[in-house]
Amino acid sequence: MTLAWIGLGSNLGDRQRTMEQALRHLEDHSGIRVLAVSAIYETDPVGVLDQPPFLNAAARLATSLRARALLDALLETEREMGRRRERRWGPRNIDLDLLLYGDDVIREEGLIAPHLLLAERLFVLAPLCDLDPEAIHPVLNRTMRDLYADLCAGNPLKPVEKLTSFS
Protein backbone atom coordinates (compact mmCIF):
# COMPACT_ATOMS: atom_id res chain seq x y z
CA MET A 1 0.00 0.00 0.00
CA THR A 2 1.13 3.50 -0.83
CA LEU A 3 0.14 6.62 1.06
CA ALA A 4 -1.21 9.36 -1.16
CA TRP A 5 -2.60 12.80 -0.40
CA ILE A 6 -5.36 14.41 -2.43
CA GLY A 7 -6.86 17.87 -2.45
CA LEU A 8 -10.61 18.43 -2.56
CA GLY A 9 -12.36 21.62 -3.60
CA SER A 10 -15.87 22.78 -4.42
CA ASN A 11 -17.53 26.14 -5.02
CA LEU A 12 -20.92 25.17 -6.49
CA GLY A 13 -23.97 23.64 -4.84
CA ASP A 14 -23.78 22.05 -1.41
CA ARG A 15 -19.98 22.20 -1.26
CA GLN A 16 -19.44 20.21 1.92
CA ARG A 17 -21.89 17.46 0.96
CA THR A 18 -20.27 17.20 -2.47
CA MET A 19 -16.81 16.68 -0.97
CA GLU A 20 -18.19 14.03 1.40
CA GLN A 21 -19.82 12.25 -1.55
CA ALA A 22 -16.55 12.32 -3.47
CA LEU A 23 -14.71 10.68 -0.56
CA ARG A 24 -17.41 8.01 -0.24
CA HIS A 25 -17.20 7.39 -3.98
CA LEU A 26 -13.42 6.95 -3.72
CA GLU A 27 -13.81 4.53 -0.81
CA ASP A 28 -16.15 2.44 -2.97
CA HIS A 29 -13.32 2.09 -5.48
CA SER A 30 -11.25 -1.05 -5.11
CA GLY A 31 -7.75 -0.24 -3.92
CA ILE A 32 -8.50 3.08 -2.16
CA ARG A 33 -9.08 3.64 1.56
CA VAL A 34 -9.55 7.08 3.13
CA LEU A 35 -7.38 7.20 6.25
CA ALA A 36 -7.84 10.81 7.39
CA VAL A 37 -9.46 14.05 6.25
CA SER A 38 -8.40 17.58 7.14
CA ALA A 39 -10.56 20.40 8.35
CA ILE A 40 -12.38 22.42 5.69
CA TYR A 41 -11.15 25.87 4.71
CA GLU A 42 -13.19 28.50 2.88
CA THR A 43 -11.02 30.46 0.46
CA ASP A 44 -11.37 33.05 -2.25
CA PRO A 45 -10.98 31.82 -5.80
CA VAL A 46 -7.58 31.99 -7.50
CA GLY A 47 -7.11 32.80 -11.17
CA VAL A 48 -10.74 33.47 -12.10
CA LEU A 49 -12.06 35.83 -9.44
CA ASP A 50 -15.69 36.25 -10.58
CA GLN A 51 -16.99 33.08 -8.91
CA PRO A 52 -18.13 31.93 -5.46
CA PRO A 53 -15.65 31.09 -2.68
CA PHE A 54 -14.30 27.55 -2.41
CA LEU A 55 -14.33 25.00 0.32
CA ASN A 56 -11.01 23.13 0.35
CA ALA A 57 -9.77 20.08 2.24
CA ALA A 58 -7.24 17.28 1.88
CA ALA A 59 -7.38 13.56 2.49
CA ARG A 60 -4.71 10.96 3.19
CA LEU A 61 -5.36 7.71 1.35
CA ALA A 62 -3.90 4.23 1.43
CA THR A 63 -3.92 2.79 -2.05
CA SER A 64 -2.82 -0.31 -3.87
CA LEU A 65 -3.24 1.58 -7.16
CA ARG A 66 -0.34 2.94 -9.13
CA ALA A 67 -0.26 6.73 -9.43
CA ARG A 68 -1.81 6.78 -12.92
CA ALA A 69 -4.68 4.51 -11.85
CA LEU A 70 -5.29 6.65 -8.76
CA LEU A 71 -5.39 9.80 -10.89
CA ASP A 72 -7.81 8.03 -13.24
CA ALA A 73 -10.04 7.18 -10.25
CA LEU A 74 -10.03 10.84 -9.18
CA LEU A 75 -10.97 12.02 -12.67
CA GLU A 76 -13.65 9.32 -12.98
CA THR A 77 -15.15 10.46 -9.67
CA GLU A 78 -15.25 14.05 -10.91
CA ARG A 79 -16.98 12.98 -14.15
CA GLU A 80 -19.50 10.77 -12.37
CA MET A 81 -20.33 13.64 -10.04
CA GLY A 82 -21.04 15.93 -12.99
CA ARG A 83 -17.87 18.00 -13.21
CA ARG A 84 -17.60 19.90 -16.49
CA ARG A 85 -14.31 21.52 -17.46
CA GLU A 86 -15.54 24.63 -19.23
CA ARG A 87 -13.15 27.30 -17.98
CA ARG A 88 -9.65 26.88 -16.59
CA TRP A 89 -9.76 27.65 -12.86
CA GLY A 90 -13.47 28.37 -13.22
CA PRO A 91 -16.33 27.29 -10.96
CA ARG A 92 -16.72 23.57 -10.25
CA ASN A 93 -18.87 21.36 -8.13
CA ILE A 94 -15.91 19.08 -7.34
CA ASP A 95 -12.17 19.23 -7.88
CA LEU A 96 -9.92 16.32 -6.90
CA ASP A 97 -6.16 16.71 -7.24
CA LEU A 98 -3.41 14.20 -6.62
CA LEU A 99 -1.03 16.18 -4.41
CA LEU A 100 1.51 13.57 -3.29
CA TYR A 101 1.97 9.92 -4.15
CA GLY A 102 4.18 8.53 -1.41
CA ASP A 103 7.55 10.20 -1.77
CA ASP A 104 7.61 9.57 -5.52
CA VAL A 105 8.51 12.24 -8.04
CA ILE A 106 6.51 11.58 -11.20
CA ARG A 107 6.73 13.57 -14.43
CA GLU A 108 4.60 11.94 -17.12
CA GLU A 109 2.17 13.22 -19.72
CA GLY A 110 -0.90 14.27 -17.74
CA LEU A 111 0.51 13.15 -14.37
CA ILE A 112 2.81 15.19 -12.16
CA ALA A 113 3.49 14.42 -8.52
CA PRO A 114 4.02 16.21 -6.33
CA HIS A 115 1.41 18.62 -7.70
CA LEU A 116 3.23 21.50 -9.40
CA LEU A 117 1.41 24.24 -7.45
CA LEU A 118 1.36 22.49 -4.06
CA ALA A 119 3.99 24.77 -2.48
CA GLU A 120 2.32 27.93 -3.84
CA ARG A 121 -1.21 27.46 -2.51
CA LEU A 122 -2.27 28.12 1.08
CA PHE A 123 -5.56 26.32 0.44
CA VAL A 124 -3.54 23.16 -0.30
CA LEU A 125 -0.86 23.51 2.37
CA ALA A 126 -3.19 24.32 5.29
CA PRO A 127 -5.18 21.08 4.96
CA LEU A 128 -2.00 19.09 4.30
CA CYS A 129 -0.58 20.47 7.55
CA ASP A 130 -3.70 19.26 9.37
CA LEU A 131 -2.90 15.75 8.18
CA ASP A 132 0.88 15.54 8.05
CA PRO A 133 2.77 18.72 8.96
CA GLU A 134 6.09 16.86 8.91
CA ALA A 135 5.49 15.28 5.49
CA ILE A 136 8.37 16.15 3.17
CA HIS A 137 7.89 17.67 -0.26
CA PRO A 138 10.00 15.21 -2.29
CA VAL A 139 11.33 17.84 -4.71
CA LEU A 140 11.86 20.81 -2.38
CA ASN A 141 12.95 18.58 0.54
CA ARG A 142 10.99 20.75 3.00
CA THR A 143 8.16 19.94 5.38
CA MET A 144 4.59 20.98 4.68
CA ARG A 145 4.74 22.99 7.92
CA ASP A 146 7.74 25.00 6.69
CA LEU A 147 6.25 25.60 3.25
CA TYR A 148 2.98 26.74 4.84
CA ALA A 149 4.75 29.03 7.33
CA ASP A 150 6.70 30.69 4.51
CA LEU A 151 3.61 31.23 2.40
CA CYS A 152 1.14 32.37 5.05
CA ALA A 153 3.58 34.98 6.46
CA GLY A 154 1.85 35.05 9.84
CA ASN A 155 -1.68 35.16 8.38
CA PRO A 156 -2.83 31.52 8.59
CA LEU A 157 -6.02 30.15 7.07
CA LYS A 158 -8.65 29.27 9.65
CA PRO A 159 -10.74 26.12 9.29
CA VAL A 160 -14.50 26.59 9.05
CA GLU A 161 -15.80 23.03 9.34
CA LYS A 162 -15.03 19.31 9.43
CA LEU A 163 -16.33 16.74 6.98
CA THR A 164 -18.85 15.10 9.30
CA SER A 165 -18.72 11.62 7.80
CA PHE A 166 -14.94 11.49 8.05
CA SER A 167 -14.21 13.18 11.40
In the structure, what pLDDT confidence band is assigned to residue 95 with cuts at 50, 70 and 90? Answer: very high
Q: What is the mean pLDDT of the chain?
A: 90
If one counts every other C-beta atom within 10 angstroms of the C-beta of residue 156, the result is 15
**What's the whole-number mean pLDDT along residues 95-119?**
95
Active-site residue (options: 44, 66, 87, 95): 95
Kindly report the CATH number assigned to the domain that includes residue 23: 3.30.70.560
What are the tens digits of pLDDT across the range 7-55? 999 999 999 999 999 999 999 988 999 999 999 999 888 877 678 899 9
Domains identified in the chain, total number: 1
**Quick check: is 24 catalytic?**
no
Query: Per-residue pLDDT for 80 more than 60?
Result: yes
Active-site residue (options: 92, 121, 130, 132): 92
Active-site residue (options: 15, 97, 130, 132): 97
pLDDT at 62: 97
**Quick check: is 50 catalytic?**
no
| Residue 85 lies in domain | 2-166
Active-site residue (options: 83, 121, 130, 132): 83
Answer yes or no: are the C-beta atoms of 79 and 93 closer than 8 Å: no
| pTM of the model as a whole | 0.90
**Quick check: is 60 catalytic?**
no
**Quick check: is 85 catalytic?**
no
As to burial, measured by CB atoms within 10 angstroms (0-12 exposed, 13-18 middle, 19+ buried), residue 81 is: middle
**DSSP alpha helix (H) spans, 55-142:** 67-80, 122-131
